[in-house]
């Protein structure tokens, strides 16, 4: 027969902490004094009455029990061990990208030579002529563009000139104009330049090549600060109007950017003195009076005479390009200048067969290296 229990008997069979009159039993509100607070309140559980005392009592009780049951190690007492490192700060993730060190310097005095920019100054002061490579920004997707820049740097590029695409590139030939139109159809040319400069500047000294219209449309001060923040060492505006030269020079000077100037061979002595005074970085006499991509012969004696005029007018380095379409022509120009820039041959390869561009740059680099071993480079007597 199944036993029958009364209500009093059932209450007496409960465990002590389940009995309503037991002091061990506490209500939910007593055990969680913060449970009744509205959901939108800012009161933390540890700040409510009784919560901190309950937590501390529980923690001290557990610690006391742990120490009571812990057995001391056998054997003689050993010397104090080296304290453990402080692990309150989480270690840096091994794949976390490190911040690039700040290598910028204070704005240079107006007309100061390139010595205020150590990497670029060191490059152009070498006994051999450096090799510059012109690359239009945004010609390929970002991943492919970074890969191409790395390959060109490894192949022998000493200086990058990153071109800002423009719809009216009247000083450039059909190859570069076609590349610019391709960039303008694919997206924002200014954003492409910033991305390309930010990566190229980690590899080699980098200068932005542009026309005046994009700089004027964006604002000289804003454009100068944008290029400087991306890591550019300078900005060369190939068609800078004379009446805007002072405005641009001030904006670039404030952003600590060098302002190389394109100096055509037809420039008079008076204009040459003005351009040399307002320029910084270097002077750029084209090896040919034709647009970029010219493949004809070069008048080396005329270029040599004009280069001597530039060195007499300014202590700035001299960099040349336009018409240096083959390694042999670049080797003839190299003894006259501090750097030779190649553009159209590399752009043509990047548009059609990008995998051949590094081999082409390597051929130019070998030609300049062999020239440096046989012919001394002309230098200004005022430079050290």
Q: Is 172 a catalytic residue?
A: yes
Coil, strand, or helix at residue 326?
coil
- The pair of structure tokens assigned to 218 is 């964006």
Q: What angle do CA 70, 53, 28 make, to 5 degrees?
A: 105
In this structure, is the dihedral angle defined by the CA atoms of residues 227, 231, 234 and 236, taken in order, positive or negative?
A: negative
Residue 327's region, left for phi above 0, alpha for psi from -120 to 50, else beta, is alpha
Distance of CA 26 to the CA centre of its chain: 63
338 near 317, Cβ under 8 Å?
A: yes
In the residue annotation, 161 being an active-site residue is answered as yes
Residue 293 burial (10 A CB sphere; 0-12, 13-18, 19+)? buried
CB 292 within 8 A of CB 176: yes
H/E stretch holding 1 = none
- Active-site annotation holder among 18, 53, 109, 172: 172
Q: Residue 327, Cβ neighbours under 10 Å: how many?
A: 19
Active-site annotation holder among 161, 221, 242, 355: 161
Q: Which residues are catalytic?
A: 161, 172
């Amino acid at each position: 027969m199944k036993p029958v229990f009364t209500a009093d008997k059932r209450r007496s069979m409960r465990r002590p902490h389940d009995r309503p009159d037991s002091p061990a039993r506490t209500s939910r509100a007593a055990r969680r004094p913060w449970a009744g607070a509205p959901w939108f309140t800012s009161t933390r559980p540890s700040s409510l009455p009784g919560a901190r005392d309950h937590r501390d009592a529980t923690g001290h009780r557990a610690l006391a029990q742990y120490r009571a049951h812990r057995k001391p190690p056998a054997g003689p007492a050993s010397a104090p061990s080296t304290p453990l490192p402080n692990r309150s700060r989480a270690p840096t993730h091994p794949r976390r990208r490190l911040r690039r060190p700040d290598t910028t310097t204070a704005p240079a005095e107006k007309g100061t030579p390139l010595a205020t920019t150590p990497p670029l100054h060191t490059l152009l002061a070498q006994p051999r002529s450096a090799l510059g490579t012109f690359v239009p920004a945004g010609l390929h997707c970002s991943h492919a563009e970074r890969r191409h820049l790395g390959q060109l740097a490894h192949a022998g590029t000493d200086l990058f000139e990153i071109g800002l695409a423009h719809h009216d590139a009247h000083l450039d030939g059909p190859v570069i104009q076609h590349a610019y139109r391709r960039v303008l159809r694919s997206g924002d040319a200014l954003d492409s330049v910033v991305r390309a400069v930010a990566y190229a500047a980690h590899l080699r000294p980098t200068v932005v090549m542009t026309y005046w219209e994009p700089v004027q449309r964006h604002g000289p001060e804003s454009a100068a600060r944008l290029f400087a923040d991306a890591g550019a060492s300078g900005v060369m505006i190939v068609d800078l109007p004379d009446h805007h030269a002072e405005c641009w020079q001030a904006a670039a000077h404030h952003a600590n950017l060098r302002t190389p100037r394109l100096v055509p061979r037809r420039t008079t002595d008076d204009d040459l003195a003005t351009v040399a005074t307002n320029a910084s970085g270097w002077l750029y006499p084209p090896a040919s009076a034709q647009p970029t991509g010219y493949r004809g012969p070069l008048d080396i004696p005329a270029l040599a005479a004009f280069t001597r005029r530039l060195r007499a007018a300014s202590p700035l380095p001299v960099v040349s390009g336009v018409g240096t379409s083959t390694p042999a022509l670049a080797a003839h120009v190299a003894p006259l200048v501090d750097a030779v820039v190649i553009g159209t041959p590399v752009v043509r390869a990047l548009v059609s067969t990008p995998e051949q561009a590094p081999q082409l740059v390597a051929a130019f680099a070998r030609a300049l290296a062999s020239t440096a071993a046989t012919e001394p480079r002309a230098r200004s007597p005022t430079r050290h």
